[in-house]
Amino acid sequence: MGRVYLGLGSNLGEREQNLATALARLQERLRLVAVSALYETAPWGIADQPPFLNAAVAAETDLSPSELLVFVKGL
């Protein structure tokens, strides 16, 4: 199994619930090894938007890099 690290973020709607849903969906195809605390950050680049709630995840997977990309883009 390969180790991967993902950054997650949400700044619309129920941000914490959005991240919880993303984590649940990630567990469908990845084995989560560690999940960070949630951190609120100011938007970068386009400042006229709500603040982000962010987290980082360490996981193990048998997916290839291209399969992983397709999977996470579908979340």
pLDDT at 42 over 90: yes
- Do 59 and 33 form a contact (C-beta atoms < 8 A)? yes
pLDDT at 49 over 90: yes
pLDDT at 20 over 90: yes
Determine the Cα–Cα distance for residues 34 and 5; give it in Å rounded to an integer: 9
Q: Which pair of tokens denotes residue 21?
A: 């849903």
pLDDT at 46 over 90: no
**Strand partners of residue 32:** 59
What range defines the domain where residue 27 resides? 2-73
| Number of structural domains found in the chain | 1
pTM higher than 0.75 for the full model? yes
CATH code of 15's domain: 3.30.70.560
C-alpha distances in angstroms, 17 versus 7, 12, 34, 42, 68?
A: 16, 10, 18, 19, 22
Tokens 């990845």 sit at which residue? 30
